Each structure stands twice: as C-alpha cells, then as structure tokens.
Amino acid sequence: MTGTPIEAIVIGASAGAVQALSHLLPMLPADYALPVLVVVHVPADRTNALVPLFQAKSRLVVKEAEDKEPIQPGTVYFAPSDYHLLVEADRTVSLSSDLPVLHARPAIDVLFESAADAYGPALAGVVLTGANEDGAEGLRAIEAAGGLALVQAAAEAYAPAMPAAALARCVGARAMPLAAIGECLLKLGGRGTG
C-alpha cells in the first residue's frame, strides 16, 4: 500500500462492464468511506441505464454525476452518456462535451487524468474489462502522481485488451481478479478508516 490514505476511487470499464461491476460494486458496504467515480463506455443515447441498474444492486448511493456537484463519500458517480466526467481541484465534478478521446465520450483517460491532478497520491484507479486502450494513459497518470493503480487480470476479463494495455503502460500497476480488487477497495475505504 502507499503511504497516503486513499480519498477516492476511479473505475473505468468498457465491453463486459455490467458483469464486472455487478461483481465489484455490491462488495462495498453502505458505510463505505470513499467516493467512487465510474466511466463506462455507453452509446450516446440520452440516458445512462447503468444508474438504475446499480441502484438496485449496490448498497451505496448511486447517481449520475451532475456538473459542479461536490463529491461525497459513499457515493458512486457514473458519467452521463455523451459527456466527459472530470474532477476539479476543489473536489467537485465537472462535465464537458469536448471531443471524444480514443473514440470514447465519456473517456476513462479524461476522468483518470483530472482525478490524478485533483487527488495526487490519494487516488486509486481501476481499469476493468474492455476492448480498446482507453484508461491506459489515465492509469499511468495516476501512477505518476503516486496513486494506486489496479488492473483486472486479463485472463478473467471478458475483453482483455483494455486491462492489458493499462498494464503495459503502467509498470507499477497490479493485475488481480475482481474478487481481489474488491477486497483491496474494501481495505482502502472500509469501516472506520474514513
């Protein structure tokens, strides 16, 4: 573990995201002490169906991130479809409709890089299953800022390309199965550590 206590978790997932997050998010208890910000690649439709889905599955508050809202512990924020999700230095959320990055909007890199700026070493980033390379640069930024970099073990991932790309880009990233990632997140923000 790093010396700095972790203050936020960022997660990126693409193909196979629902299944992976359905494993991961229900592991976190209702009194989880950290905020969790999530980018999933979804088509640019009007609504992000992940929010109601995970409201039903998770014990945390699950919501779509709103522009300018302060980031609260014990809350899972999903990026709205067709907008990038960013973290500001004052730990509020901001949205942008800047161009897609690696064809993705929301893009994992945009969330991870801005969060790495805002939280420095107090951030943990997780790259899950996906069939592209989004998240690799972002995870590298988290690692460079002294944060914790976790990657889903490629053997277990529905689509291994994204975790593999992240692992290739981040020398210090640790690859582990979802169950172990969940345990790790629990330790970082479990009861009494907040």
Partner 1 sequence: MGSESTEDIEIQLLLEALYQRYHYDFRNYARASIKRRLKQARQQLGFRSFSALQDSLLHDADMLPRLLDYLTVQVSEMFRDPSYYRAIREKVAPILHTYPSLKVWIAGCSSGEELYSMVILFREEGLERRTLFYATDINPQALEAAASGVYALDRIKTFTENHQKSGGKSSLSDYYTAAYGRAVFDKSLRSRVVFSDHSLVTDSVFGEMQLISCRNVMIYFDKAIQDRAIGLFRDSLVRNGFLGLGSKESIRFSSEADSFTDFVREEKIYQRRGT
Catalogue the active-site residues: 14, 41, 134
Cα separation values, 138 from 12, 30, 75, Å: 10, 28, 22
Can you tell me which residue has the tokens 């950290």? 34
Residues making contact with partner 1 (CB under 8 A): 46, 66-68, 80, 83-84, 86-89, 94-99, 110, 113-114, 117-118, 120, 122
Distance CA 66, CA 57 (A): 21
Q: What is the DSSP letter of 146?
A: T
Can you tell me which residue has the tokens 């230095």? 89
Instruction: For the chain, give percent helix, strand, coil, nearest 5.
Output: 35, 25, 45
